[in-house]
Amino acid sequence: MRRDIFQAIADPTRRAIIGLLALQAMTPNGIAEHFQTSRQAVSKHLRVLTECEVVKQEYQGREIYYHLEIERMKEIDKWLEQFRKLWETRFEQLDNLLANLKKKK
């Protein structure tokens, strides 16, 4: 099943999991404690995240620690790049507007 990062962050629970793992690596049970959902549901989310390589597993005895792969987050940032130019343009326009208002006054 081919997945991408945008699908990974589409679900709010998954975004929350990513947020948690940004602070520290955690086990499925550890993660599940932070939500009102079952460990199995978390496990399914972790599967999705693993499939698109947003997290990676570290086996430690019978526990599995999930680590965030921060590099993947950059892909989103990269996609946003094309819009960042527009923000800047908007900012310039606002700057010009403010400058004109000032001059008028």
Partner DNA sequence: ATTTTGCGAAACCGATTGGTTTCACATATA
Partner DNA sequence: TATATGTGAAACCAATCGGTTTCGCAAAAT
d(CA 31, CA 57): 14
Using CB under 8 A, pick the residue from 15, 44, 47, 56 that binds a copy of itself: 15
Strands (E), 3-105: 55-60, 63-68
Position among 62, 77, 103, 104 found at the interface with a copy of itself (CB under 8 A) = 77
Minimum Å gap between C-beta 77 and a copy of itself is 6
From candidates 44, 60, 74, 95, binder to a copy of itself by CB under 8 A:
74
d(CA 74, CA 17): 17
CB contact at 8 A, 25 and 66: yes
Residue found by looking up tokens 């959902």 in the block: 37
Q: Binding mask 6-35 vs DNA (x if CB under 7 A, - otherwise)? A: -x--xx-xx------------xxxx-----
Half-sphere exposure in the Cβ direction for 17 (13 Å, CA): 36
Q: Give the residues lining the site for a copy of itself (CB under 8 A).
A: 4, 6-7, 9-10, 12, 15, 19, 22, 68, 70, 73-74, 76-77, 79-80, 82-84, 86-87, 90
